[in-house]
Amino acid sequence: MKDLVLAITGASGSAYAIRLLQVLIEAGRQVHLVISPAGEQVLQHELGLSIDPRRFSIDQLLPTTAQETDSQPGQVAFHDYRDFSAGIASGSFRTDGMVICPCSMGTLAAVSQGLSQNLIQRAADVHLKERRKLVVVPRETPLGSIQLSNMKILADAGVVILPAMPGFYNQPQSINDLVDFVVSRICDQLGVPQDLTKRWGKPKN
Ligand SMILES: Cc1cc2nc3c(=O)[nH]c(=O)nc-3n(C[C@H](O)[C@H](O)[C@H](O)COP(=O)(O)O)c2cc1C
């Protein structure tokens, strides 16, 4: 099973993270999941999901779809955001990439400066130093010059900046369509096969 890191931070857009988690599970990926305290707060606020980091179970994140999204035992490994002894804190632990979705401006700034003050920031730093795929999905509007500078620093370091900016050219009919638009772009970057949206120039299957 290919390992991917999914970090959820405290920007708006928890729905992107939950849908992404679902798609990664369905694609058979091993997911290393880390959620910041602010990420937990936003999950609760936007989706009514309560996480207990000490007794994490996948049902806390995928309650309504648990039957449809059959994860294998151990397919989602939850790591406490302070646990620097987790495998993903080390470059010797191989992964196929990492995504921070959604990515707050705070985490974006910390990663751009290499602060490594929690497991999310450390794992991102590791992906950078190991020259592995790192995708960040920032959400903020409008953007200030410091935030834009931080994005430029990351883009120059090889990070894929994939803002949560759904396109409307597929004539979305629902919020789910808008969410799937962004999630499909993330999966394309991570090399995860999916058919969530119609591709421009191709008929939808
Ligand atoms: C409901 C809610 C929505 C938020 N939305 C955003 C947002 O869209 N973008 C952002 O950068 N911060 C947002 N914040 C603020 C961050 O959560 C805050 O800056 C936090 O320190 C980020 O911490 P983290 O990066 O460790 O998750 C939001 C906070 C709350 C409670």
Q: Which CATH class is domain 3-190?
A: alpha beta
42 Cα: distance to centroid of ligand 1 (angstroms): 8
The whole-number pLDDT of residue 202 equals 80
Query: Is there a contact between 6 and 47 (Cβ–Cβ < 8 Å)?
Result: no
Return the exposure string of 38-61: e unless at least 16 CB atoms fall within 10 Å of the residue's CB, then b.
bbbebbeeeeebebebeebebebb
pLDDT for residue 186? 98
Helix ranges restricted to H, 93-174: 105-112, 119-129, 145-156
Q: What's the pLDDT score for residue 203?
A: 76
| Calculated CA dihedral for residues 155, 133, 23, 136, nearest 10 degrees | -30
82 lines ligand 1 (CB under 6 A): no
DSSP 47-114: H-----GGG--GGGTSTTTTTTS-PPTTSEEEE-TT-TTSGGGSTTS--S-EEEEEE-HHHHHHHHTT
At 130 the pLDDT is: 98
Q: Which residues pair with 99 in a beta bridge?
A: 6, 135
User: How many beta carbons lie within 10 A of that of residue 200, not counting itself?
Assistant: 8
Domain boundaries, the chain: 3-190
Tell me the CA–centroid distance for residue 18 and ligand 1, in Å. 17
Residue the block writes with tokens 């759904």:
166
pLDDT at 71: 77
What distance in Å separates the CA atoms of residue 33 and residue 7, rounded to the nearest whole number? 6
Which tokens hold the place of 6?
């999914």
Nearest to 74 by CA among 147, 25, 117, 40: 25
Instruction: Give the pTM.
Output: 0.96
**pLDDT tens for the 205 residues of the chain, in order:** 699 999 999 999 999 999 999 999 999 999 999 999 999 999 999 999 999 989 999 999 997 654 456 777 789 999 999 999 999 999 999 999 999 999 999 999 999 999 999 999 999 999 999 999 999 999 999 999 999 999 999 999 999 999 999 999 999 999 999 999 999 999 999 999 999 999 998 876 6
Burial bucket for residue 193 (CB in 10 Å: 0-12, 13-18, 19+):
exposed
- Residue nearest atom 6 of ligand 1, based on CA coordinates: 11
pLDDT for the residue numbered 146: 98
The pLDDT score that the predictor gives to residue 204 is 64
pLDDT the model gives residue 66? 47
